[in-house]
C-alpha cells in the first residue's frame, strides 16, 4: 500500500531583515507587522513531511508536523496532510455508537511532566479526563497468575511506589527496597527531563551529546533490567512489575529495552487523556498554526537543487523549498532521497502491535478461561511478564488485557494489546462466549529500543531536518513535540538567525513564571 504523507508547507517571508516571526506566544499571535506579500516563488518556504495514516500509525507522528509548524508560522503557512491523519481519529466508539464513551486505540495517556501536552490541553481549552481504575492488577506469565493486588501500579496511575508500602501483599512479595530504588531511578530521570522545558533548555544537533548533557548515557546504553539490577533492585521486582510496565507501554521486555525508555514507562502517569480523544490536541495545533492543509498527498522524492534548495516531488507536482523537515519514520515513507542522505539514517525497526477492543457481558474474566481454580478472582487489569517463557514456559498470548469500564448496564469494554492477532476463538474462550462487538487494529506502534550509544543525525543535510531522529532515544507523544521544537528552532537559526524564542535565542521574559515552558512562554 502506498504511504500517504502529511506535507506541511511553511512559506515565510524572504528578506531576513523583514523577517518577523510571531515569537511571542507563537500559537496565538499574528505577526504584528503585516509582511508585504511577495510572489510565492521568491518567498522562502518550508515543507514539513509527516507520516500519514495509511498504515494506521498512531498519533505520535502526527504531533510532529503540527507542533513544528505551530512554532513557526503565523500566517505564512500552508499544510498538506492526509485526510485520516488530520481528522486523526484514534478513538473508536463501542458498537460504532457515538453516544457511547470514546476509547483511545493507541497511546492514550500523558503526565503533568509532559509539559507541552499538558499546556496544549489548557491553552486549547480541552478537557482532561483522569483515569481512575482501581479495580486491581494481576501479572500473568502465560501459565500462572503470579501476583494480584487490589491496587494498580503507580506507572498506570498517579503517585509513587510508596502507595504500595501500605499494601501488605505487595510489600511481602517485593520488599521495601526495590520499589524505593525504582522510584529514585524514575525521579532522577524526570528531574533531568524537566530541563528540556526550562529557559536554558538544551538544543541539540547530536543526540549523543544531548544524552550526555542530561546524564543519560548510562541509562540509554544499558537494558532496563541490567541498569535496575546494578541499582540493587531485585530480580523479582524487575521481571514482574518492571517488565509488566515495559511490555504494556512499549511491547518490549525489560532485558531488551534501554533503561531510559524503561524509566519513561515507569514514570507515574497521573493518567490523563483528553476527553473525546487526544487527537484534538494535534488538530488544534494544526488549526491554530493557520497553516494551509493539503490533504492526502504522497511525497515521492526529496532532491537538492544546485542553489541549496530542495525539490519535493509529490502527487501535487514538483515544488521547491528553502528547507524540508522530515517528520515521519524515513524507512516507512518510501520517499526517495539522495544516497548521501539515506545512508545517514539507520533503519529503525518497530514493534508491530495488535489492538483488540471488545465488549462483553462478563464482569471479569472467568478463572476457568485460564484454567485457574473457580475461587480465583481475575483482576480488571492483567499485565504480563516474559519470565515464564525465559524459563522454558509458555509466552503470554497478550501484552496486556484490561477492562476499561462499563459502556452500558451490564456491558464492559476490554482492550487487549498483543503481538499476534487474537482470534475469535480465543476471545470466545476467554470470555466464555460472551463477546459482543469486536474491533481490531494493528500498526507499528513503538520503535524497538535496544540499548544504544549512537543515534541518527538531526540534520541530514543543509536545509534538511529529521524529527524522528529522536525516536531511538525516547519515543512518546511528548518527546516528539520536544524533538519538533528543537528542529524548528535549529531551522530558524540556520536560515534566519533567530530561534523560536527570538534572535537572542534565549527567552526574554516570563522566565520566572511558575510552570514556565520554553517555547510557550518566551
Ligand atoms: C447508542 O447508545 C445509546 C446510549 O447507550 C443508546 O441509547 C442508543 O440506543 C444507542 N444507539 C444505537 C443505534 O444502538
Ligand atoms: C472554554 O471552555 C469552556 C467550558 O467548555 C467554555 O465555557 C469557554 O467559552 C471556552 N473558552 C474558549 C476561549 O474557548
Ligand atoms: C487519497 O488518495 C487516493 C489516491 O491517491 C484515493 O484513492 C483516496 O480515496 C484518497 N483518500 C481520501 C480520503 O481522499
Ligand atoms: C555525535 O557525537 C558523537 C560523540 O562526540 C560522535 O561520535 C558522533 O559521530 C556524533 N554524531 C553525529 C551524527 O554527528
Ligand atoms: C516581554 O518583553 C517585551 C519586550 O522585552 C515586552 O514588551 C513584553 O511586554 C514582555 N511580555 C511580558 C508578558 O512580560
Question: Model confidence over 78-117: pLDDT tens digits?
Answer: 343 333 333 334 778 899 998 888 887 765 566 677 888 8
Structural contact between residues 88 and 62, judged by C-beta atoms closer than 8 angstroms: yes
Non-local CB neighbours of 333 within 8 Å, separated by 6+ positions: 3, 5, 49, 51, 299, 326
Cβ–Cβ < 8 Å for 10, 65: no
List C-alpha distances in Å: 329 to 156, 170, 350: 28, 41, 10
Nearest ligand for residue 24 CA: 5
CA distance 78 to 496: 19
Q: Is the CB of 457 under 6 A from ligand 4?
A: yes
How large is the average pLDDT for residues 196-217?
95
* Residue whose C-alpha cell reads 492543509 in the numeric block: 293
Pocket test for ligand 5, best of 29, 32, 508, 512 (most atoms within 8 A of CB): 508
Residue 59 has pLDDT above 60, yes or no: no
Q: Where are the domains of the chain?
A: 5-88+278-349+452-496, 132-270+350-447
pLDDT number for residue 405? 82
Q: How many CB atoms lie within 10 A of CB 196?
A: 21
List the CATH code of the domain at 5-88+278-349+452-496. Answer: 3.50.50
Supply the pLDDT for residue 498. 81
Mean pLDDT of 367-373: 95
Alpha-carbon span 286 to 143, nearest angstrom: 47
Task: Please tell me whether residue 299 adopts helix, strand or coil conformation.
Answer: strand
Contact 248, 228 (CB under 8 A): no
pLDDT surpasses 60 at 235? yes
Residue of 208, 210, 341, 343 with the most ligand 4 atoms within 8 Å of its CB, for mutation: 208
Burial class of 132 by CB neighbour count within 10 A (0 to 12, 13 to 18, 19+):
exposed
Provide the pLDDT confidence category of residue 436 given band limits of 50, 70 and 90: very high
Closest-CA residue to 9 (of 320, 287, 336, 332): 320
What is the grid cell recorded at 131?
Answer: 483515569
- Which residue's alpha carbon is nearest to atom 8 within ligand 5? 509
| Residue owning the nearest CA to atom 4 of ligand 3 | 296
Is the pLDDT at 13 greater than 90? The verdict is no
Class at the top of the CATH hierarchy for domain 132-270+350-447: alpha beta
319 forms beta bridges with: 312
Q: How many CA atoms lie within 13 A of 439 on its CB side?
A: 17
Phi, psi of 161 (to 5 degrees): -65, -15
Q: Nearest ligand to the C-alpha of residue 501?
A: 5
Global confidence as pTM: 0.82
pLDDT computed for residue 131 by the predictor: 61
**Is the shortest distance between the CB of 15 and ligand 5 below 6 Å?**
no
Residue pLDDT, tens place only, 481-520? 899 899 989 998 898 888 888 776 555 566 667 788 888 8
- Cα-based distances in Å from 72 to 20, 170, 329, 510: 11, 49, 22, 20
Amino acid at each position: 500500500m502506498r504511504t500517504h504523507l502529511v506535507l506541511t508547507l511553511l512559506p515565510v517571508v524572504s528578506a531576513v531583515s523583514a523577517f518577523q516571526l510571531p515569537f511571542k506566544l507563537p500559537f496565538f499571535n499574528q505577526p504584528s507587522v503585516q509582511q508585504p506579500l511577495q510572489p510565492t516563488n521568491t518567498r522562502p518556504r518550508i515543507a514539513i513531511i509527516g507520516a500519514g495514516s495509511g498504515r494506521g500509525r498512531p498519533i505520535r507522528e502526527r504531533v510532529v508536523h503540527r507542533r513544528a509548524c505551530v512554532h513557526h508560522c503565523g500566517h505564512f503557512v500552508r499544510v498538506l496532510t492526509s485526510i485520516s491523519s488530520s481528522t486523526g481519529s484514534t478513538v473508536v466508539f463501542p458498537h460504532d455508537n457515538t453516544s457511547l464513551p470514546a476509547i483511545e486505540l493507541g497511546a492514550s495517556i500523558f503526565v503533568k511532566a509532559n509539559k507541552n501536552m499538558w499546556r496544549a490541553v489548557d491553552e486549547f481549552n480541552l478537557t482532561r479526563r483522569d483515569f481512575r481504575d482501581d479495580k486491581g492488577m494481576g501479572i500473568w506469565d502465560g501459565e500462572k497468575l503470579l501476583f494480584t493486588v487490589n491496587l494498580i501500579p503507580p506507572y498506570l496511575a498517579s503517585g509513587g511506589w510508596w502507595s504500595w508500602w501500605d499494601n501488605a501483599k505487595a510489600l511481602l512479595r517485593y520488599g521495601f527496597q526495590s520499589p524505593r530504588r525504582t522510584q529514585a531511578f524514575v525521579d532522577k530521570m524526570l528531574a533531568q527531563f524537566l530541563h528540556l522545558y526550562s529557559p536554558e533548555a538544551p538544543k541539540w544537533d547530536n543526540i549523543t551529546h544531548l544524552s550526555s548533557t542530561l546524564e543519560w548515557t548510562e541509562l540509554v546504553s544499558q537494558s532496563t533490567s541490567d541498569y535496575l539490577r546494578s541499582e540493587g533492585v531485585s530480580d523479582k521486582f524487575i521481571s514482574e512489575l518492571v517488565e509488566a510496565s515495559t511490555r504494556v507501554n512499549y511491547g518490549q521486555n525489560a532485558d531488551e529495552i534501554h533503561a531510559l525508555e524503561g524509566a519513561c514507562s515507569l514514570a507515574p502517569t497521573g493518567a490523563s487523556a483528553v476527553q473525546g480523544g487526544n487527537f484534538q490536541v494535534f488538530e488544534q495545533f494544526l488549526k491554530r498554526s493557520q497553516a494551509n492543509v493539503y490533504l492526502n498527498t504522497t511525497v515521492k522524492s526529496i532532491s537538492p537543487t544546485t542553489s541549496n534548495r530542495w525539490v519535493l516531488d509529490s502527487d501535487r507536482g514538483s515544488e521547491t523549498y528553502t528547507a524540508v523537515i522530515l517528520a515521519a519514520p524515513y524507512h516507512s515513507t518510501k520517499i526517495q532521497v539522495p544516497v548521501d542522505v539515506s545512508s545517514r539514517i539507520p533503519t529503525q525497526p518497530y514493534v508491530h502491535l495488535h489492538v483488540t477492543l471488545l465488549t462483553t457481558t462478563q464482569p471479569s474474566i472467568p478463572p476457568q478461561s485460564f484454567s485457574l481454580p473457580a475461587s480465583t478472582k481475575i483482576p480488571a487489569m492483567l499485565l504480563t511478564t516474559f519470565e515464564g517463557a525465559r524459563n522454558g514456559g509458555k509466552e503470554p498470548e497478550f501484552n496486556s488485557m484490561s477492562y476499561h469500564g462499563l459502556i452500558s448496564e451490564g456491558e464492559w469494554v476490554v482492550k487487549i494489546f498483543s503481538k499476534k492477532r487474537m482470534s475469535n476463538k480465543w476471545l470466545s474462550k476467554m470470555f466464555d462466549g460472551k463477546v459482543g462487538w469486536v474491533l481490531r487494529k494493528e500498526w507499528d506502534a513503538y520503535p524497538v529500543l535496544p540499548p544504544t550509544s549512537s543515534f541518527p543525525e538531526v540534520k541530514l543535510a543543509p536545509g534538511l531536518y529529521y524529527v524522528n531522529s529522536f525516536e531511538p532515544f525516547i519515543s512518546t507523544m511528548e518527546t516528539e513535540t520536544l524533538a519538533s521544537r528543537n528542529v524548528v528552532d535549529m531551522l530558524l537559526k540556520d536560515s534566519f538567525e533567530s530561534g523560536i524564542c527570538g534572535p537572542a535565542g534565549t527567552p526574554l521574559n516570563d522566565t520566572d513564571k511558575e510552570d514556565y515552558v520554553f517555547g510557550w512562554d518566551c
